Structure 1
Amino acid sequence: MMTKAADGMSDWDNMAIICDVLGRAPDVEMGSIGEGWSLCRWRQFVGAYTLPALPQPIFTVHIAGKPQVKTWDKGGWTETSSIPGCATIVPAGMPTGWLVDGELDVVTLSMASDVLAGQPHADQFNRMRFAFSDPLGVALTRQILSEIYAPQAEERTAYVSAMVGALKAHILSGPPAHGNPVDIPVSDFSAYRLHKIMNAILADPAAEHSLEAMAAVAGVTPSHFCRLFKKAIGITPHQYVMKARLDRAQQMLVQTEMSLAALSEAAGFASQSHFSRAFRSWFGMAPSDFRQQERRRTD
């Protein structure tokens, strides 16, 4: 897809380029020229998009919508998908491709280079980071949106600015620590505990991950945990576990010669038939058809 922005309009900012690609303005836009940032909400678009190189790095939060968004990488769509609750960093100067299989709801935060200058973790904006878990970033973004849509008042404007400042500080603090973080004492449900649960699921999707066990880690009842998880991430704990298992199964279908029976067991499914039904429901095709398709594409 060739856009005006890709055809010589190098003085356009991030929002103008994205508007040109999508053919529409953002649902919400707020920013500060003096402080060098711009926050936009984009909704209700579907299809495949080519986004030309942006002049500023951009932090994207997947708020809601279809839980299957892929990006173009090394000649094909990524096996990993972005789902509600994920964040993505797109560096400046890097063209990207996107496959959106259903209505999407995202918030983008663009920051000028002078805002990043001298920051200890500014190098994280020099490379693509796709679909990583960021519960705190999502929670802050949701809070900002809820305040933006509320009746405007002077004190509310100040509060929104403070929340945007908190989101910027969170982003600039650097990526979450890899591996198993050291346990810290907390008495109430927190973003830390939610992040810990999500990381455990992504690290070993085939494990049991019962609702009771996850709720115990969060320190709340199972029913309360379900409500909190869905409010923060946009999907239920069961759906999150299912998506993690299906993403792992997709990788094994492409990278191994395992039979479907062995693969379904390794991915954490009770049976091959259960795996096949879930895979077809999520991806719109049978696992065997997906494997053949990917092999033909690779060949």
Structure 2
Amino acid sequence: MTFQPRMNNRINGFSVIGGLNRRQWNGVVADLWNVNCAPLAGGFYVADDPRLFIVLDAKGAGRPNIRLRQPQSGFCEAGQGQVASYIPAGMELWAEMVEVEYVRHLDLHFNVEILSRRLMEDFDPAQLKAPRLMFSDPRILSLAELIAAECVNPQPLHDLYGDGLSLALLIDVMRLGPSKQRKRSALANWQLRRAIDYIEENCLSGIRMETLAELTGLSQSHFSHAFKASTGLPPHQWQMKARINRAKQLILTANHSMSVVASETGFADQAHFTRAFRKIVGVTPGNWARNQKA
């Protein structure tokens, strides 16, 4: 089922410009808002899921200032310009607009269950319980701007683009370090056969690591390491090898040009196909075809 963020709020003084711009990826919902603010605009917010609130632009006649206050602790943080706030699930928060007439902000809502499955041992859900309000970080703001641009892109890029950006942003905010080296056991025979059969049957389509992990009953991290331990290749390289094998079959059995073979096997163009073929086979498709006929 598609992840839908859940938030309760009581707000006043805001007027949305142009409606909500929303994109959804694997366990992440990104909402981009353009809002006009009346004097003393503000409101109360509490959500069932953790989120990032990132101010990309704030304008006003004086010194536009956004304040975030936690009612239970009385703690208050204020920020100007581009700032980000990480807000844990269930944390009550009051927002106050001080001399702010317009604000453009990005809200990123995260599904903890999906993130836990994706990051597994590298991620401790307890890290999501500590708030960080009104901080500024150039890398996080740069990632947020790229995500915001994708939210309004009339021709959205591949889902992996926004998915990767949003996951990278969360990793940066949570300060997750590199994975510790662990020895992984290989896949069981039935797991390996099931994964390979699926990859080879669907090699011309986009294959999600999540799907392969579910087929074998493992986490994504565990599956990826175990697959490489079993085959010597990561799953995406095995998929590329399967696509090249499909291309070889077409070359041998059909009278197609190399540009048609490239298109039929899912490559962007003939040049992309040639590079991938040479990397795996060691020669260009044309040379390989001539060798088969010799």
TM-score (norm 2): 0.46
Bigger CA radius of gyration: 2
TM-score (norm 1): 0.45
Structure with more strand by fraction: 2
